[in-house]
Amino acid sequence: MEHTEHILSYGKLTAVWVALLVLTAATIMVTRFELGVWKVWAALAIASVKSGLVIAFFMHMKYEPRLFRIILFVALFTLAGFIGGTFFDVLYR
Amino acid sequence: MSHAEKDSFGAKLGMWLFLFTEMLLFGGVFILYSVYLTRYPKEFGLGGHQLDLVFGATNTVVLLTSSLFAAMSVTAIKRGAKQLTLGLLSGTIGCALIFLFIKYLEWSAKFHHGIYPNSPKLIAGPPGESIFFSLYYLTTGLHGIHVIIGGILMTWTAVMVQKGMLNSADNVTLENVTLYWHLVDLVWIFIFPLYYLIL
Amino acid sequence: MENQLITSTQQAVDPVFTFLFGACLVLLLGITATMVYFVVRYRRSKNPEPTSQVSGSPLLEVVWTVLPTILVMGMFYYGWTSYLSLRTVPKNAMQVKAEARMWSWNFVYDNGKQSGKLYVPVGRAVQVNLESKDVVHGFYVPAFKIKRDVVPGMKNHVWFVATSPGTYDLFCSQYCGTGHSAMITTVEALPPAQFAAWLQQTAAGGAAQGQALLEKYGCLGCHSLDGTRKVGPTFKGLYGSQVKVEREKKEETVTADDVYLRESILNPAAAIVDDYPAVMPPSTMPEADLKAVIEYLKGLK
Amino acid sequence: MSQDTAMAQGGFWRDTRRSGIGSWIFSTDHKRIGMMYLYCVLSFFLVGVVLGFLIRLELIAPGPTIVTAQTYNALFTVHGVVMIFLFIIPGIPASFGNLVLPIQLGARDVAFPRVNLLSWWLYAIGAVIVLVSLFTGGGAPDTGWTFYVPFSARTSTNVSLAVFGVFVLGFSSILTGINFITTIHRMRAPGMTWTRIPLFTWSLYATAWVQVLATPIIAITLLLVVTERILGLGLFDPNRGGDPVMYQHMFWIYSHPAVYIMILPGMGVISDIIPVFSRKPIFGYKMIAFSSLAIAAAGSAVWGHHMYTSGMSDLGVLVFSFLTFIVAIPSAIKVFNWVSTMYKGSISLEAPMLFALSFILLFSIGGLSGLILGAAATDIHVHDTHFVVGHFRYVMFGGTGFAFFAAAHYWLPKYYGRRYKEKPAIVGWILMFVGFNVMYFTMQVLGMEGMPRRYYDYLPEFTRLNVVATVGSWILVAGIVIVVWNLWRGLFRGEPFTGNPWGGATLEWSIATPPPTENFDEDPVVTHGPYEFKGAGIP
Ligand code: HEA
Ligand code: HEA
Ligand code: CUA
Ligand SMILES: [Cu+2]
């Protein structure tokens, strides 16, 4: 096997969970203000951080070999490309 | 690589590839969401305010907690703590049930107000509103189906753990099922702000 | 200004075709010739052992990456600029509205005149604004090399100039169901004076009006006046004839009288003529028009 | 490696554990699964071909000829669905990919044999659902294989079931993709470095990525059509604020990359065959392998070229037209490298090579006509005409179809231990090649003259060319019948086929014929590249 197995401690997992709850509270709070479009971006940014935490720790991505991170990037990039391509049409019609 | 020995790395790679297809499946819905949000920001706003933030927030906490249990169960099984693993898995499944129950409450409240796909109220309302609720039902419905599938998979792995087929040496199935569960959580992390918060 | 640059849409498109075809032909012939030459020259009976083992050449790879890139960028640019002229409507263009429905066209002019054929004056740019009543259709006039989908809920348009008088085919290019291939009509390009006269003509009463109504409501997309079978039965000789229909799952024969015609038009699903699909949409035409239509159908012997 | 002359029909054909049909439909052996795919795919190909033949017959004269308009519309819809989803997408990857890929890597099976079997079952179930949809509900779907809304949402025919069948087929395709990627990453034999992977397997790697990342989009899109019809969600319904053009985006986001799912494996087959029959290493191995990835990547971003007339924004047209031309470049690189491989080789024109060479020609014609479609101005005229039909038949049938037959002539003897006769294969090939060009070139001319596609009836001025095209289809029939019959007969009655008569250097030629169930007696160690014929000890 390429790598020795990494076991995450309960403490670390709980810490991540607490962080996720805090971020959830934060996003609710942020979106209570009238920030216009920034509200969308702020909420999405926080959601991205949250999903980053879930992927890195709950899903062990941080401890997997680089290949996994590369293909994850490929997948997300593809999705971004699909959305972006559509917007070339939708925004300029 | 010999045939007989189990390739847990390969199994995880396969699982991740499968998770990508799930991400893109939901991605398709998010494409529609983003397009229609830019087209009908006002109607989406009105629609979003009719969703119940308390239900949404509670479900977020429930799902995050279930994810925590799922992640802990992997640690537990690797440390050989069988009873703890089973307990944590039950915790996850329990959270899944709570989630579904809350979802049920939420949906039936909406149905009560005459808001459901193709309802006369939506047909009479402004175009964007019907789109918003259709997307809402589509996304949460699809997500709900994934919760159900995840719950069934969790139960199945719990049985395997109970029987000792999954143990501290061979547990990649459990890992993969929890990966699937985390994906369900990930999707919700985006659904929550997009439907309940930013509008 | 743009008007002077290109005088018609086909003039914008044709040179691009010529260029692309030419380039493709050269490439194709080159590749084929090389292949055939290699096969003949190095066939096993003549060349029993390979006389070279080269397995690549960075220089060649660069050459045949860069040259095609330049070539296709040229093709892209040329195609794009000509596309732009298809999209830039000359300022003084005449406006016509095209209504597409399953499966017929109706053209509405600024003065309210309606027609099933698209009459246009020669030499004047015409902008056609496309509206669909139901599904996606396509407005396609091969002679002018123009095409645009007619999408419900969306404002699309095309423009063209008819440079000489004549009749040009107009097709529905986007698949829209059973009658898709029957959804054709013509562009009638008339000399300006003649066109002006046509535009002023108002449909008189009687037969002309009846036919105009049928065109306006799109009936002629599915029904013919001359006995040919289209999506629906012909109107010729319909009045007074015996029609076999299926009503509430039961076969029966009815006489096509006023009552039957009225029902067939307002509620076509009630009785379905044997051997025809139940696809006719119910009509919502006002009572006066309905009367006129039925009167007209009576006269079609 | 043992080169014992195995009995024809020996090897994996003899399963010692089970017997009867159960030893096939529950087998997890990649070769058996590949064979089952092959038979299914070929049967559906013949179904599709008969439908295509009927289409041509109807078009031989204007006006009603043999069927009604409604039937005609159902004909081309079913023809399209069968050909695309049941034949050409699973075509090469699922059949020859399964048969060949693990052996080319030096593995005993794919990474997830049971998932592989599941994928076949999903394919079978999906196919049955599609076929059932023809005869139940409101009758065969009549929407065209593109299922454009709002028409598909309101027609009374059995669209929901057909679409659901396609949805299931999509999952089959995804699972095959996942399996192949994992197999290529994890199951390579010692010494099988990335630059020693045969190009067929490389092309399957690129294909698999497209399958994994693009197919979910069609799944959700088709699900939306179903919900639109059953629940009335109204997401694409203009009366409720929906946008039909968004459906087209989502459909083509998958369906354009899907055309590369169709062609990439075909290109891989050609890359494997040409060096063998030229006895020369492939020219530009790395460029060919890399261009497969480039096609897969760039090809995922050009879907809008199907929508130039749809009312998409002009900026959209600009971007998608530009990207379309970019994707042509890696294809050009491949063509140039294939042709160069033959330079100073020792070329033997046996059946696989003939099909491979005609692939290059026909694919080039198709691809170059694709450039005419890709240029914004010219596409406006030929969009939705028979020019498009001609284009995609050149790339799909002339490309993938011919590659499929090339692969069949190249690999099937290896798996059966018997071979077809050479003469009928060549006669069949000539007829196919001639009939093909008569038919489809004529269709492209028809399109240039403005004949729209999906037209049951046409104006009299198009009659002459339509007659020519129909006659072409008859010649093509004759060719296909001879080729298929010859293959079929040869595989069961032909002369025994052993060893490595063509001199391939990839691993599948180093094992017994037919391959044993476990593929390799002992784990192979790879010491040379896939096209180093000298290194493989081939004269
Ligand atoms: C196997 C399937 C396949 C493949 C490989 C391709 C390949 C390509 N296709 Fe095709 N296409 C289809 C299947 C395929 N297509 C189908 C099914 C449809 C219709 C769907 C429907 O509406 O029903 C379609 C429709 C279609 C359209 C839309 C037409 C319309 O509806 O108006 C367009 C437009 O750009 C297009 C372009 C291209 C291009 C640029 C390529 C390129 O990838 C081609 C690249 C190849 C070459 C360029 C030739 C080889 C190279 C040389 C000979 C060297 C010299 C070349 C250069 C110097 C550039 N295709
Ligand atoms: C791989 C893909 C593929 C292949 C191989 C074919 C093959 C053929 N297709 Fe098809 N076609 C499509 C994919 C394909 N098609 C698609 C996607 C569409 C678009 C659908 C849509 O618009 O929605 C289409 C549409 C389409 C049209 C346009 C319809 C229209 O727009 O109005 C036509 C018309 O000529 C046609 C004809 C044919 C013919 C004659 C063949 C021939 O090549 C077949 C030739 C072979 C024969 C004729 C042999 C006959 C064999 C036998 C009789 C039995 C022998 C049996 C044994 C020996 C066991 N097809
Ligand atoms: Cu209207 Cu086709
Ligand atoms: Cu395409």
Please give the Cα distance from D386 to D462 (Å, whole number): 11
Using CB atoms within 10 A of its CB, is residue B157 exposed (0-12), middle (13-18) or buried (19+)?
Answer: buried
For the four alpha carbons of D450, D456, D462 and D465, in that order, the dihedral sign comes to positive
DSSP state of D400: I
pLDDT at C7: 66
What residues contact residue B62 under an 8 Å CB cut-off, 6+ apart? B95, B98, B99, B102
Q: Which structure tokens are listed for D444?
A: 């492209």
DSSP string for D128-143: HHHHHHHHSTTSS--S
CB contact under 8 A, A86 and D249: yes
Residues near ligand 1 (Cβ within 6 A): C 27, 31, 68, 71-72; D 146, 259, 262-263, 305-306, 324, 327-328, 331-332, 335, 364, 367-368, 370-371, 373-374, 379, 383-384, 388, 391-392, 395-396, 399-400
Residue C25's pLDDT is: 94
* Amino acid D183: pLDDT: 94
Name B94's bridge partners.
none
Q: Are residues A69 and A50 in the same domain?
A: no
Residue B14 and residue D115: Cβ atoms within 8 Å?
yes
Residue A1 lies in a domain: no
Separation of alpha carbons C199 and C157, rounded Å: 21
Mutation target to probe the B interface, by most B beta carbons within 10 A, among A54, A70, A86 is: A54
CA distances from B139 to B26, B33, C253, D6, D220 (A): 8, 9, 52, 56, 11
In single-letter form, the type of residue at position D311 comes to G
Identify which has the larger pLDDT, C229 or D300: D300
Q: Which ligand is nearest to the CA of D260?
A: 1
pLDDT, one tens digit per residue, over D308-341 is 999 899 999 999 999 999 999 999 999 999 999 9
Taking an 8 Å cut-off on Cβ atoms, the answer to whether D304 and A81 are in contact is no
d(CA C285, CA D53): 44
Residue range B101-106: average pLDDT? 92
> Among B157-171, C91-105, D8-22, D189-203, where is mean pLDDT lowest?
D8-22
| Nearest chain C residue to D241, by CA | C153
3-class DSSP assignment, residue D5:
coil
Task: For D172-193, write each residue's pLDDT tens digit.
Answer: 999 999 999 999 999 898 889 9
Name the residue in chain C with its Cα closest to that of D532: C53
Per-residue model confidence as pLDDT tens digits over D207-236: 999 999 999 999 999 999 998 888 888 889
Cα atoms found within 13 Å of the Cα of residue D241, Cβ hemisphere only: 25
Angstrom distances, CA of residue D238 to CA of A66, A83, C282: 46, 21, 20
Contacts of A2 in chain D (CB under 8 A): none
Angle at CA of residue D309, ends D306 and D315, nearest 5°: 85
Is A10 an interface residue toward D (CB < 8 Å)?
Answer: no
Does the C-beta of D51 come closer than 6 Å to ligand 2? Answer: no
Binning pLDDT at 50, 70 and 90, where does residue D497 land?
confident
**Could you give the CA distance from residue D106 to residue D185 in angstroms, rounded to a whole number?**
12
Q: Do D316 and A92 touch (CB under 8 A)?
A: yes
- Per residue in C71-97, pLDDT (tens digit) is 999 999 999 999 988 888 888 889 999
> Of all protein residues, whose CA lies closest to atom 1 belonging to ligand 3?
C137
| D288 beta partners | none
Chains meeting B at 3+ CB pairs closer than 8 A? A, D
Are A65 and A52 in the same domain?
Answer: no
Q: Does the Cβ of D428 fall within 6 Å of ligand 2? A: no
Measured in whole angstroms, the distance separating CA D476 from the mean position of its chain's CA atoms is 18
Residue C193 in this model has a pLDDT that exceeds 50: yes
Close Cβ partners of B68 (under 8 Å, ≥ 6 residues apart): A13, A14, A16, A17, A58
Residues D354-362 have a mean pLDDT of: 94
**Strand C166-172 and strand C242-247: pairing?**
unpaired
Selection from D242, C83, B32 nearest residue A86 by Cα: B32
Both A69 and A80 in one domain: the answer is yes
Query: DSSP string covering D429-477, please?
Result: HHHHHHHHHHHHHHHHHHHHTT-BSS-SS--GGGHHHHHHHHHHHHHHH
For residue D405, which ligand has an atom nearest its CA?
2
Report which of D10, D12, D8 is spatially closest to residue D497, judged by C-alpha positions.
Answer: D8
Segments of chain A assigned E as strands: none
By CB atoms closer than 10 A (0-12, 13-18, 19+), residue C237 is exposed
Q: Report how many domains make up chain B.
A: 1
Distance D402 CA to ligand 2 centre (A): 14
Residue A4 within any structural domain of the chain: no
- Residue D383 is classified by DSSP as T
**CA distances in angstroms from D127 to B50, B60, D123, D166, listed in the order given:** 43, 40, 6, 8
On the question of pLDDT at D147 being above 70, the answer is yes
Query: What domain range is B188 assigned to?
Result: 3-196
The amino acid sitting at D245 is V
Tokens for B193? 């702000």
Check CB contact under 8 Å for D303 and A91. Answer: no
Would you call B105 an interface residue with chain A, using a CB distance cutoff of 8 Å? Answer: no
Contact B161, B85 (CB under 8 A): yes
> Are D166 and D83 within 8 A, CB to CB?
no
DSSP secondary structure, D203-262, as one string? HHHHHHHHHHHHHHHHHHHHHHHHHHHHT---TT-GGGT--HHHHHHHHHHHHHHHHHHH
Question: What CATH code is carried by the domain that includes residue B21?
Answer: 1.20.120.80
Q: Which ligand gives the minimal distance to the CA of D266? A: 1
- Contact (CB<8Å) B118/D242: no
Stretch 16-55 of chain A: residues touching chain D, C-beta under 8 Å: none
Task: Using pLDDT thresholds of 50, 70 and 90, give the confidence band for residue C36.
Answer: very high
Residues within 5 Å of ion ligand 4, judged at the Cβ atom: D 256
Mean pLDDT of all residues in B78-85:
89
Average pLDDT over chain D, rounded to an integer: 89
Report yes or no: D76 and D11 within 8 Å, Cβ to Cβ.
Answer: no
In which residue are the tokens 């199945």 written? B156
Enclosing domain of residue A91? 61-93
The CATH class, in words, for C206-298 is mainly alpha
What six digits make up the tokens of D338?
């294939």
How far apart CA D149 and CA D69 sit, in angstroms, is 20
pLDDT surpasses 50 at C3: no
Do A54 and A18 belong to one domain?
yes
Q: How far is CA D54 from the centre of its chain?
A: 22
Torsion sign over Cα B161, B166, B169, B172: negative
Residue D469, CA distances (Å) to D54, D362, D398, D438, D465 in order: 13, 17, 16, 6, 6
Contacts of D487-490 with C-beta under 8 Å, sequence gap 24+, read D487/D408, D487/D409, D487/D412, D487/D420, D487/D425, D489/D420, D489/D421, D490/D413, D490/D418, D490/D419, D490/D420, D490/D421
What whole-number percentage of chain D has pLDDT above 70?
A: 96
The Cβ of residue D167 has, within 10 Å, a number of other Cβ atoms equal to 19
Specify the pLDDT at position C237. Answer: 83
Question: What token pair was written down for D174?
Answer: 């995804």
Q: What is the DSSP string of C264-294?
A: HHH-GGGEEETTS-S-PPPP---HHHHHHHH
- Report CA torsion sign: D308, D310, D314, D315: negative
Report yes or no: C127 and C93 within 8 Å, Cβ to Cβ: yes
Neighbours of B127 (CB within 10 A): 21
What pLDDT score does C190 carry?
A: 92
- How many residue pairs from chains A and D have C-beta atoms closer than 8 A? 45
The interface pTM score, or ipTM, of the predicted complex is: 0.89
Helix (H, G, I), strand (E, B) or coil at C299: helix
Q: Which residues of B touch D154 (CB under 8 A)?
A: none
10 Å Cβ neighbour count for A6? 10
In this structure, what DSSP letter does residue D66 have? Answer: S
pLDDT digits (tens, 9 = 90+) for D450-463: 999 999 888 888 88
Residue B184 scores a pLDDT above 70: yes
Higher model confidence: residue B51 or residue C140? Answer: C140
CATH architecture designation of domain D21-510: Up-down Bundle (1.20)
- Tell me the mean pLDDT in the region D283-291: 92
Q: Residue A72: closest CA among chain D residues belongs to which residue?
A: D213
What does the pLDDT read at residue C6?
Answer: 52
Residues in chain B: 199
Q: How many CB atoms are closer than 10 A to CB D33?
A: 27
Return the CATH superfamily for domain C94-200: Cupredoxins -  blue copper proteins (2.60.40.420)
C-beta atoms of A88 and D301 within 8 A: no
**pLDDT tens-digit readout, C128-150:** 999 998 899 999 999 999 999 99
CATH fold group of domain C9-87: Helix Hairpins (1.10.287)
Which pLDDT does position C1 carry in this prediction?
Answer: 34
C68-77, C205-214, D39-48, D496-505: segment of lowest average pLDDT: C205-214
Distance from CA of D212 to the nearest CA of B (A): 6
- Which stretches in chain A have pLDDT values below 50? 1-3
Residue ranges per structural domain of chain C: 9-87, 94-200, 206-298
Buried b / exposed e along D130-153 (16+ C-beta atoms within 10 A): bbebbeebebbbbbbbbbbbbbbb
Q: What is the pLDDT of residue D6?
A: 39
CB D514 within 8 A of CB D10: yes
Q: What is the pLDDT of residue B178?
A: 93
- The 10s digit of each residue's pLDDT in C238-296 is 888 888 888 877 888 888 888 888 888 888 888 888 878 777 878 878 888 888 888 88
Average pLDDT over residues C9-16: 85
The Cα A79–Cα D217 span in angstroms is: 10
Closest by Cα among D381, D249, D316 to C148:
D381
Residues above pLDDT 90, as percent of chain C = 35
Distance between CA D409 and CA D414 in Å, rounded? 9
| Confidence band of C5 (pLDDT split at 50, 70, 90) | very low
Residue C266: which residues within 8 A CB-CB, separation 6 or more?
A: C282, C283, C290
Number of domains forming the structure of chain A: 2
